[in-house]
Structure 1
Amino acid sequence: MPVPTRNSTGSGSGTDTSADAGTRTHTRMPLAVYILGLSVFALGTSEFMLSGLLPAVADDLHVSIPRAGLLISAFAVGMVVGAPLLAVATLRLPRRTTLIALITVFGLGQIAGALAPNYAVLFASRVVSALACAGFWAVGAAVAVAMVPVNARARALAVMIGGLSIANVLGVPAGAVLGESLGWRSAFWAVGGASAIALVGVATLIPRIPVPDEKPRLRRELRIYRDRQVWLTISLIAFAAGGVFCAFSYLAPLLTDVAGLDEGWVPAVLALFGIGALIGTAIGGRIADAHLFGVLLSGMSASTVLLVALALLGQYAVAAAVLALLLGVSAFYTAPALNARMFDVAAAAPTLAGATTTAAFNLGNTGGPWIGGAAIDAGLGFASTAWAGAALTVAAGVLTTISLRLHRRRASSRLVTGAQAAPTAVTAPTATPVGGRSDQPESTPKYG
């Protein structure tokens, strides 16, 4: 698949200009997109694996479990800060070179964590790894979008998100098994090895992305933040992610203390969530390009219903396990659409779009568990985290509805303006390159 050209705004445009190209939905994904998914597998495993290693880490480094838990928070905060920071810092650098540098730093961070002699060094290694992880997500998403036509964006992003889903299904449990059998440091070595494989793939298979005719300028790219649709998208991503992880972060104690499930079954139920995430990503990535808002609204509605059901039926082990699977489906079903929506409203700044999306997701991943913890501390019980999560997904749905109305209003305004400016003489229609970009702030794929 040829690499798309890039116009002066730095946004990708498809190379296929045939009249029916925009209607095709089965665009073949470049191998390089799957390499990015493999890289995200390593990133995601490192991000989430500490949840199963905290007791061992705390014991070995002579700190309390709550203090060891700050290692997870440090990674999340590093993702929020690192995504826009690294996007700005690397704005004018070649994309492939940037990806190589970031995956290298990330891998070195895993090695530093494996060799860490004390808590302070491990903490520092997590922050560095998070910064590199955030930068790779942001730049990688922009590269994935640049390598495919506009009608395949969500599918390309779904491949990257699929790497995160597989990390939850395979990587995180494998890290827990390694930690129990060979010590927690072995899990860091394993992720370091996966990062080395990803580095080889990025260096050899990621193509050179053509440089825009005009060099990216930070001031111009920052203009995307003047658009209220960008802020609406940031908010709905944060609320959607926060709602799901508000409940998921405390699923283990809900299963054991509320449902009465034996601790040995908890990893299996968590793996069910990961399997559901993989299924949801595959389905959402297939249809989000054609029905973006339809995916968002249906997915968030489903998550709300499932969270309410979890709050009401969480005392039954079988029901809780089934709902965990379905919640993984509904949550990640919307993920490709959420990513694609940001690239639509911030088309003039694709790297900052990827960075902003990464930061928004991690705001939700950080804020959701905090809200759930506050509910538990208030004495409302573990089931209250599902009620709180449902409230957050309802808010995300409301914001999505507002965004859809603004989108339709803007599209109608452009149609009226175009009709008023149209010549009265009958002229032949002008072909528009598929996937090409206008100077409008949003692209206009079919939204159902």
Structure 2
Amino acid sequence: MPVALLALAIGAFGIGTTEFVMMGVLPQAAADFGVDIPTAGHLISAYALGVVVGAPLLTAVAVRLPRKTMLLAMMGLFTVGNALFALSPNQEFGVAFRFLAGLPHGAFFGAGAVVASSLVGHGERAKAVSMMFLGLTLANVIGVPLGTLLGQQVGWRATFGVVAVIGLVAIAAIAKLVPHQGKPAAGASLRNELGAFKRPQVHLALAIVTFGLGGVFACLSYITPMLTDVAGYSPANVTLLLSLAGVGMTIGNLLGGRLADRALMPSLYIALLALASVLGIFTITAQGKVGAAITIFFVGVAGFMIGPMMQARIMEKAGGTPSLVSAAVQSAFNIANSIGAYLGGLVIAGGLGLVAPNWVGALLAVFGLTLAVVSGTLDRREAKAERRELALAS
């Protein structure tokens, strides 16, 4: 694999850390700002909103920039946002700076996925994208636990100061290792990029991300009370178990990239079916410590196999205008996070128990599988129509 993928992975590591470590240091930030935990939770939602808004907006604004320039600009904005957040004087500024830090998230991954796939041959594109996303999954294994520990021992501001330094390292690595991408093709324009959204397969791909990965977040959003109140783990052990889930995510991400290059749609069917099955099984295994630990690992594996598959799928269906739809995947990812968390909370509030979000997740994964089957059926119909046209032309 090209060494330039390391630079992209460093950027992904910083982004993954800043997105998820906020959950670990939320009590410290709340105490520092003098607000309660629910109010401090706006620091999490502000970042997610920044991702959803920034992914299409910044990609559209910079559609004619060389992609290396785009990557450097997005990582620069990310670094500034996190540095300012570390210096926030109060909750209001904190929310604003978290929103700012989230804006470049989707645009970076969108441009990075296109660059990663351009560095390798056609048969290794999904694998290359998964290598970039390796930084994101490793953030859950290394960056989030260490960042949480640093925040608890030194202060949450130190955590985000370190994240800003990671951003600077990523900028240097991208500048040094990523080859010059040249100017965009002559036909590159916002109109052409938006034209990709006229294709039904693009909308199907985004819907598969939203509902398929929504199943993962329905489970993970409430994993702490499941592990403590149902499985019987102490709060001190939850961090280790979340790291175990992160290891599963890392393995799933790498496995998903390799399988996608070999047989994308069959592999996607298997991944979504596996996710639905594992989430269903988790409703039973959550009752015991060993079963819960094993299952949470496989939730990570099955769930994060889907990411590189869908990134490859949507770039394939976008044709020659992949930048905006590639960034839109990150918006869909964060919408999946919101939908999963909302529906999971709904069934808990309805008195169905702390393991009920797993059933919600399984149903969402089944719906994602149904959409994938529809998408695959359209592929076969399109291929059949093309063969018919070729036969008539000859």
Query: What is aligned with 1:327?
Result: 299
Are the counterparts in 1 of residues 106 and 328 from structure 2 also a CA contact under 8 Å?
no
Are the counterparts in 2 of residues 233 and 341 from structure 1 also a CA contact under 8 Å?
yes
**Which of residues 362, 366, 376 in structure 2 aligns to 1:394?**
366
1:150-207, CA deviations, whole angstroms, 9 ceiling, x for partnerless residues? 2211011101111111000000001111011101111101111111110100111111
Identity %: 39
Are the counterparts in 1 of residues 56 and 324 from structure 2 also a CA contact under 8 Å?
yes
The whole-number CA distance in structure 1 between the counterparts of 2:36 and 2:232 is: 26
Query: What is aligned with 1:298?
Result: 270
| Aligned residue runs from structure 1 range 1-400, under 5 A | 29-400=1-372
The whole-number CA distance in structure 2 between the counterparts of 1:175 and 1:256 is: 22
Are the counterparts in 2 of residues 306 and 327 from structure 1 also a CA contact under 8 Å?
yes
Are the counterparts in 2 of residues 151 and 289 from structure 1 also a CA contact under 8 Å?
yes
Q: Secondary structure at the match of 2:261?
A: coil
Are the counterparts in 1 of residues 51 and 331 from structure 2 also a CA contact under 8 Å?
yes
The whole-number CA distance in structure 1 between the counterparts of 2:183 and 2:212 is: 35
- Residue 134 of structure 1 and its aligned partner are, at CA, apart by 2.0
Q: Secondary structure at the match of 1:254?
A: helix
Q: Secondary structure at the match of 2:218?
A: helix
The whole-number CA distance in structure 2 between the counterparts of 1:240 and 1:368 is: 10
Q: Secondary structure at the match of 2:182?
A: coil
Which stretch of structure 1 is more off in the superposition, 53-62 or 144-153? 144-153
Are the counterparts in 1 of residues 210 and 335 from structure 2 also a CA contact under 8 Å?
yes
The whole-number CA distance in structure 2 between the counterparts of 1:132 and 1:223 is: 22
- Residue 213 of structure 1 and its aligned partner are, at CA, apart by 4.4
Q: Secondary structure at the match of 1:233?
A: helix
The whole-number CA distance in structure 1 between the counterparts of 2:373 and 2:268 is: 9
1:212-252, CA deviations, whole angstroms, 9 ceiling, x for partnerless residues? 44141222221111111111111011011110011111100
Are the counterparts in 2 of residues 73 and 366 from structure 1 also a CA contact under 8 Å?
no
The whole-number CA distance in structure 1 between the counterparts of 2:153 and 2:12 is: 25
- Residue 147 of structure 1 and its aligned partner are, at CA, apart by 2.1
1:119-157, CA deviations, whole angstroms, 9 ceiling, x for partnerless residues? 111111110010022221121112212222222110111
1:263-315, CA deviations, whole angstroms, 9 ceiling, x for partnerless residues? 11100110010000111111111121121012111111111111111112211
Query: What TM-score, normalized to structure 2?
Result: 0.98
The whole-number CA distance in structure 2 between the counterparts of 1:210 and 1:370 is: 43
The whole-number CA distance in structure 2 between the counterparts of 1:213 and 1:115 is: 41
- Residue 331 of structure 1 and its aligned partner are, at CA, apart by 0.8
Query: What is aligned with 1:443?
Result: none
The whole-number CA distance in structure 1 between the counterparts of 2:120 and 2:56 is: 23
> Which amino acid in structure 2 is aligned with residue 67 of structure 1?
T
Are the counterparts in 2 of residues 368 and 389 from structure 1 also a CA contact under 8 Å?
yes
> Which amino acid in structure 1 is aligned with residue 31 of structure 2?
D
Structure 2 unaligned blocks of 5 or more: none
Query: What is aligned with 1:18?
Result: none
> Which amino acid in structure 1 is aligned with residue 110 of structure 2?
A
- Residue 210 of structure 1 and its aligned partner are, at CA, apart by 2.7
Q: Secondary structure at the match of 2:262?
A: coil
> Which amino acid in structure 2 is aligned with residue 88 of structure 1?
A
Q: Secondary structure at the match of 1:334?
A: helix
The whole-number CA distance in structure 2 between the counterparts of 1:213 and 1:170 is: 39
Aligned residues: 394
Going from structure 1 to structure 2, the CA distance change for 1:61 and 1:213 (only over 3 Å counts) comes to closer
1:362-412, CA deviations, whole angstroms, 9 ceiling, x for partnerless residues? 110121111111122222221011011111000000000000000011011
> Which amino acid in structure 2 is aligned with residue 389 of structure 1?
G
The whole-number CA distance in structure 1 between the counterparts of 2:184 and 2:331 is: 25
Larger radius of gyration: 1
The whole-number CA distance in structure 2 between the counterparts of 1:53 and 1:213 is: 44
> Which amino acid in structure 2 is aligned with residue 186 of structure 1?
A
Are the counterparts in 2 of residues 92 and 215 from structure 1 also a CA contact under 8 Å?
no
Are the counterparts in 1 of residues 217 and 361 from structure 2 also a CA contact under 8 Å?
yes
Q: Secondary structure at the match of 1:193?
A: helix
The whole-number CA distance in structure 2 between the counterparts of 1:353 and 1:132 is: 15
RMSD, aligned α-carbons: 1.1
